[in-house]
Chain A
């Protein structure tokens, strides 16, 4: 079955750019919508945005100016870049899929801490 795995640095300095990659295994990335969701420690879930294999994207207006998503169909991967990070961006970042609007496929999540 399709599985997702996030990867990237666990520690990012303030004002720098957070970069994460999600690797899709067991299936093709050339279908569905691929989404990023985050969860600050001890808090709720926040939708960051999605990318479709066609390249179309959308993101949370509260983060839009800082979010870049991309997809590499040759590697079966999609990526997230979040610029100008602060401590408020410290969170577990999940990649997910299953649909555009709700998500039945999730990675295990990766904790990213923003600290100097």
Chain B
């Protein structure tokens, strides 16, 4: 099973600033990596798939990069609605599909 590790666990950022979230895979997942955003009491929302392709309707301030074992989600200028928990998920080696433990982006 591929283990996905996200860092940091919590990221404190001021509105308008850039946020950089990391996700590391225990072995290469090529570019088979998705990112999700989850707000309290809501289901996750797909942001990115294929490591860098934005899902339908996702604003351009969200961008993904990386391949192999190291990935990054960047939010270029945080808006109030972006404060949430973010999860990465690999789909290169499965079953099982596996998720990271999440990074909470909170208001500084």
Contact = CB atoms under 8 A, between A and B. Distances in A.
Interface string A43-68: 01111010000000011111000000
Given A98-B46, A101-B32, A62 B91 contact: no
Contact of B87 (A45, A101, A104): A45
Classify chain A: how many residues form its interface, as a range.
20 to 34
Interface string B77-108: 00000000001010100111111111000000
Given A101-B91, A104-B46, A108-B43, A44 B99 contact: yes
Interface of B: 1, 32, 34, 36, 42-46, 49, 55-56, 87, 89, 91, 94-102
Contacts of A60: 95-96
Interface of A: 44-47, 49, 58-62, 94, 96, 98, 100-104, 106-109
A62 B45 CA distance: 25
Contacts, number: 53
Main secondary structure of the interface of A (DSSP, over half): loop
A103 B97 CA distance: 11
Contact of B49 (A102, A106, A108): A102
B96 A61 contact: yes
A101 B96 CA distance: 10
A104 B89 contact: no
Specify which of A44, A49, A98, A107 lies most central, judged by the most chain B CB atoms within 10 Å of its CB.
A44
Specify which of B34, B87, B95, B97 lies most central, judged by the most chain A CB atoms within 10 Å of its CB.
B97
Specify which of B34, B46, B96, B102 lies most central, judged by the most chain A CB atoms within 10 Å of its CB.
B96
Contact of B43 (A44, A62, A102, A106): A106
A104 B56 CA distance: 9
Specify which of A46, A60, A62, A104 lies most central, judged by the most chain B CB atoms within 10 Å of its CB.
A104
Nearest to B50: A102
A109 B43 CA distance: 7
Specify which of B1, B56, B99 lies most central, judged by the most chain A CB atoms within 10 Å of its CB.
B99
22 contacts: A44-B99, A45-B44, A46-B99, A47-B98, A49-B95, A58-B95, A59-B95, A60-B96, A61-B1, A61-B95, A62-B96, A94-B44, A96-B43, A100-B91, A101-B34, A101-B49, A101-B91, A102-B46, A102-B49, A102-B91, A104-B56, A108-B42
